[in-house]
Amino acid sequence: MRALVSTMQISPLAGALGAEIMGVDLRNLDAKGWGEIHRAFLQYSVLVIRDQKLEPEDIMQAGAHFGAPCHYPFVAGMEGYPYIFEVVKEPDEKKNFGGAWHSDTTYLKQPPLATLLYAVETPSHGGDTLFTNTCAAYDALSEGMRKVVDTLTGVNSAELKYGGGRTAMHKKIAGMKVHDTENADQYVAEHPVARTHPETGRKALYASRGHTTHFKGMTEEESRPLIEYLAMHQVRPEFTCRVRWARGTLTVWDNRCTQHNAINDYHGQRRRMRRLTVGAQTPQ
């Protein structure tokens, strides 16, 4: 643990990635403080900032320090804040939003570099989020496999073909303002399976079981075994950390070098979060 700015303290969550930040009010943080947060963001990839009191405007201002806001195509934004939408699971619902390993909106030509998620209501227990370090996962591949993935381009779709389909999935989360899921198959983007982080220079795996349908120049049948292998490999326990939510927690993560999975283990309880994505970038 070390002091960053005044009372700000940072504590790593796990060996691979993640850090918890205490003693800071993001609404009053100066340029020096935001500079320290940016350095921590590049070092730890997932920042869990506790004890915040953020209104939607505050979330927008915090997000602006990472990049311009991004539109999400399938859920309506809050009134007056079209880039922020609420992630809600009601007590009577069994399906949650984001309950599979993925990086956000890889089916867009320019996915967001960062996601901000702010906890408004949390269950008494459960509802944690898992994160994994996809740079560490790339580094742990054999030399031969790294040479293979370095040549591959992933074709990514919003359809969630291998997850039962986006429309069917969203019908089970009625507490959210879902729309246009019937057009999900129109969102398709090609990205390198091993992308290079533009700020750190490290390579990271960039493929998922749900979004990556196949590799360019290959059939789905040919591609699927390697997609499945990479999906399992990159979530090995030693690459991961776990975030436990509490009301007033803001977590910011780097979509360029992580994946996340919202754990669906709190049936009968309500969970409400506010989500903003920022910093559209073309993966290289």
The CATH number that applies at residue 129 is 3.60.130.10
**What letter does residue 181 receive in the DSSP assignment?**
G
Taking residues 264-271, what's their average pLDDT? 97
Q: How many domains does the chain have?
A: 1
What pLDDT, on the 0 to 100 scale, is given for residue 199?
98
What pLDDT, on the 0 to 100 scale, is given for residue 279?
98
What pLDDT, on the 0 to 100 scale, is given for residue 163?
64
- Residue 2, pLDDT > 60, answer no
3-state class of 43 per DSSP?
helix
Weakest mean pLDDT among 63-77, 150-164, 241-255? 150-164
Weakest mean pLDDT among 82-86, 179-183, 208-212, 214-218? 179-183
Distance of alpha carbon 178 from alpha carbon 247, whole angstroms: 24
- Residue 4, pLDDT > 50, answer no
**Residue 247 confidence class, pLDDT cut points 50, 70, 90:** very high
What pLDDT, on the 0 to 100 scale, is given for residue 170?
65
Distance of alpha carbon 82 from alpha carbon 186, whole angstroms: 22
Among 35, 11, 32, residue whose Cα is nearest residue 23: 11
Among 59, 166, 57, 52, residue whose Cα is nearest residue 107: 166
**142-154 pLDDT tens trace:** 999 999 999 999 9
Among 208, 256, 260, residue whose Cα is nearest residue 229: 208
Domain that includes residue 188, residue range: 2-280
Name the H helices within 113-251.
134-139, 143-149, 166-170, 220-233
What pLDDT, on the 0 to 100 scale, is given for residue 148?
98
**Residue 162 confidence class, pLDDT cut points 50, 70, 90:** low
**Residue 108 corresponds to which tokens in the numbers above?**
């867009």
Distance of alpha carbon 52 from alpha carbon 209, whole angstroms: 34
**Residue 211 corresponds to which tokens in the numbers above?**
């979004």
Taking residues 174-178, what's their average pLDDT? 75
- β strands within 1-111, DSSP E: 2-3, 9-12, 19-22, 46-49, 85-89
Cβ contacts of residue 207 below 8 Å, gap of 6+?
Answer: 154, 156, 193, 227, 230, 231
On the CB side of 247, CA atoms within 13 Å amount to 8
- Residue 91, pLDDT > 80, answer yes
- Residue 3, pLDDT > 50, answer no
- Residue 117, pLDDT > 60, answer yes
Within a 10 A sphere around the Cβ of 168, how many other Cβ atoms?
12
Q: Are the C-beta atoms of 152 and 178 separated by less than 8 Å? A: no
Q: Which pTM value belongs to this model?
A: 0.94
